[in-house]
Structure 1
Amino acid sequence: MKDLLHPISLVTAALGFLCLMRDVPTRRRDPASTALVAVFLLSGLSFLFSITPMWEYFDRELGTVNLSVPLAQGCVIALLACQQVVLTYWGSPPEVARRRSRRWLGAGLAVIAGLLVLFALLTPNAPHPNDFTLYYAHDDWYAAYLTLYVTAYTIGELFLARACWSLARRSTRGSVRFGLRVVALGATVTLGYSAVRISNVIAGAFDASLTAWESFAWTCGDVGAMLTLIGWLVPTISDQAQSLQYRVKQYRSYYKLRPLWLAFYSEAPEIALPIDRVDPAQRRRFRGIAIKLYRRAVEIRDGRFVIRQYLDAEVRQTSAAHHRARGLHGQDLLAAVTADQILAGIAARADGSRPAPEQLTEFADAERQTSRPMDDIDALLDVASHLPRQPVRAPHLERVSA
């Protein structure tokens, strides 16, 4: 059962580790994020060390039989401490979190040191990758080793489940609440593993065996661990999904604004912001979609400023009456009128026919409130949606707008 479930758990831990590593550069100063990355790394290592081929490889290369036991279980104790660090930073002020985190990490290191000492006192024997606990169940030193490990493991999982339920109730983010509850469920499931291992210690004292319960123990341990890892990933996956959605929206907005940009550029090419004088080392920044979209929006705003002195009040009134008759109202009406004003203003500038001062007006959507960065983009997109599908093109546009 162990060699069936551990590879699945290892893949889950590896995928989660890679998913979290994507955000490390932007969160390198966040102790909670660093600790969470360590949780997935240590979890993956614990499963890797316990798989029979890797167990046999260590025995063969290092010359110390069953060394995978303290390596794997040391990783488990360390990841339990790291999980508490994550929860401490999520639920406490930084000063308090730092102090409590040091205690958890110190306790974890103390338990790992104790496990190594007790393991060194075991009588060396042949490798037992599949029945190590059952084989050593009657050894007094192993009883002490297993008691220390299971006690620390059980306490860690109980604290984890309790802290996750408590923090989930206080969290305002849905993904965090759901993820923490899944973590708490996984920690609860792993207690089945603890129960069997505690029973192993008791059974050894009475010369009994719990061979029939080994599959149950490994199932609880692996299923609980996978649920825990999945729960930790939920907020990260949610954040990355929102980030991807936002990035896709930026790309779509950039290309949807092209007709509006072309309309201005065909009459006023001076709106294009020059980047040929930018330092080559910094020019890569201008290739990102966020900068390109921002640049396009600025150029469109510059284009609006250029033709502002050609806006005729009569055009605005006629356009408003026409679109009201079509059933438009609210922001949709203002965007449609603004699109007509832009086309009329571009044509007037091309002809050099400026309206009389008393006939000058503002863009219909000039009073639209844009409090967030994408609000301004949305306002421009609304206007672009009312432009003709085939705007006027200048022969040199493709090179500049690429």
Structure 2
Amino acid sequence: MDSSDYYIPTVALLIGLAVKLPGLVKDWRDPLIRTVCLVIALGSAGFFFAAPPTIAAVNQTTGIANFSSPLVYSIISAFSAFCLLLIVHWRGGPPEYVRRVSRRWQAGYFLVVIALVVLFVLGDAPVDRHTDFDTYYATTPFIREMIVLYLLAHMTAALVTTGLCWRWALQVRGWLRAGLWVLVVGWLLNLTFSGLKLAAVAARWTGQDWGVLSTTLAPLLSALAAPCATVGFLLPLVGPWTVFNWRTARTYRRLGPLWRELSSASPRTPLAGRIPWHSSLYVRLTRREAGIQDGLSLIRPWLDGAVRSRAQTAAEAEGLSVGEAAHIGRAAMVAAAVLATRQDLPAKPLIPPEHAEIRTLHAVPLDVSLALRTSEIAAAVRESSAASPAEDGEKSPA
């Protein structure tokens, strides 16, 4: 594998960590959010320190041959442990049960990390190996045990996490289920990674050379597994947030024509006041919806049921449904009232709308906004109805 095959996943995981950092700052006491961030950070660190250039730099800096090996093994073991802890916290249950299981996994993998360091100190690995440490020292006393312990610890985490995610995915729906299935794929890749490594090590014990499994195939699977794990953990957290903001943005955009129409009725007084640039989409939508309601109240004295009736009749004559025609009629009525308000014409509609119609108008701003944007009938009726009052207003003083 090239160095980029290690550093690209590192950057990808760091991007995933950046997505979760605002949530960590906001709810840093939440063990679930802390564990998610720690898992992503450890995954990124694992790829970074496993890259051959980083291995060479660490070994040279410390002055200890193959110092990177126990370092990388410890990081990956910690990553495995915190993935298990994340699943336990994520799934939940009685607090005492969650604490008890979490402590057991923490203690077990803490002992694994200590054992890895002790075995490395007891062993002898004088020749720096940047890519094939596992197979090169597969028969060296103590180093051999360190390699096998690391692989078995990783396989254990992969097996347990895959089983937990598989069973849980069968019980839930939605984004959580999607995330769990992605995690299953990621941990099956991790399990295959460990299996290939262990097979290559075992082959060395029998005098055979299966180094390609450890140095080529296994790292490729690991590079695929890390993004799967990150996506799997983030999907149930980011997915609903993304859908909510997408729907909010779509509604905000669709209300634009009605918002702009009503804003023109009182250009000197913004309907919702000044909105700070850093406001969220939800805040912007809320302010826009409130402004639309205020604008409808502002033009209410100029709303003319006759305008609505003419536009609705014209829409029905073109073959539109009753519902679509009704929305076009309301859009034309609103547009004519806005023009009358802006021109300061007398507020004397020929047929004042009924209270039920006013309530409906306030309840369906999206449909009215869409009709304003797309309906030629609404525009035509608005223009013709705006011209008539203006002419009457000119003749009456004479």
TM range (shorter): 0.7 to 0.9
Counting aligned pairs with the same residue, the percent is 21
Q: Deviations over 1:41-82 (max 9, x none)?
A: 212222222222221211211111111111111111111112
Residue in structure 2 matched with residue 367 of structure 1 by the alignment: 360
Q: Deviations over 1:128-148 (max 9, x none)?
A: 223322332222212321232
Residue in structure 1 matched with residue 207 of structure 2 by the alignment: 209
Q: Residues 219 and 177 of structure 1: is their aligned pair in 2 closer, same or farther, counting only changes over 3 Å? A: farther
| 8 A contact 1:78–1:108 mirrored in 2 | yes
Residue in structure 1 matched with residue 167 of structure 2 by the alignment: 166
Q: Distance in 2 between matches of 1:286 and 1:217?
A: 49
Alignment map for 1:3-402 (pairs within 5 Å): 3-4=1-2, 7-26=4-23, 28-29=26-27, 30-93=30-93, 95=95, 96-173=97-174, 175-199=175-199, 202=202, 208-211=206-209, 213-232=210-229, 233=231, 235=235, 238-239=239-240, 242=243, 245-246=246-247, 248-249=249-250, 252-253=253-254, 255-265=256-266, 269-270=268-269, 272-275=271-274, 284=276, 288-347=280-339, 349=341, 350-355=344-349, 359-362=352-355, 364=357, 366-367=359-360, 378-385=366-373, 386=375, 388=379
TM-score by length of 1: 0.78
Residue in structure 1 matched with residue 388 of structure 2 by the alignment: none
Q: Residues 167 and 19 of structure 1: is their aligned pair in 2 closer, same or farther, counting only changes over 3 Å? A: same
Q: Residues 182 and 319 of structure 1: is their aligned pair in 2 closer, same or farther, counting only changes over 3 Å? A: closer
Deviation at 1:369, TM superposition (A): 9.2
Deviates more, 1:26-35 or 1:44-53: 26-35
TM-score by length of 2: 0.79
SS at match of 1:340: helix
Read off the aligned partner of 1:52 and give its amino acid letter. P
Residue in structure 2 matched with residue 397 of structure 1 by the alignment: none
What is the CA RMSD across the aligned residues, in angstroms? 3.3
Q: Residues 242 and 222 of structure 1: is their aligned pair in 2 closer, same or farther, counting only changes over 3 Å? A: farther
Deviation at 1:228, TM superposition (A): 2.8
Give structure 1 stretches of 5+ with no counterpart: 276-282, 371-375, 393-402
Deviates more, 1:92-101 or 1:156-165: 92-101
Deviation at 1:292, TM superposition (A): 3.7
Give structure 2 stretches of 5+ with no counterpart: 384-398
Q: Distance in 1 between matches of 2:284 and 2:193?
A: 54
| 8 A contact 1:20–1:37 mirrored in 2 | yes
Q: Distance in 1 between matches of 2:362 and 2:23?
A: 31
Q: Distance in 1 between matches of 2:252 and 2:338?
A: 27
SS at match of 1:128: coil
Q: Distance in 2 between matches of 1:368 and 1:388?
A: 18
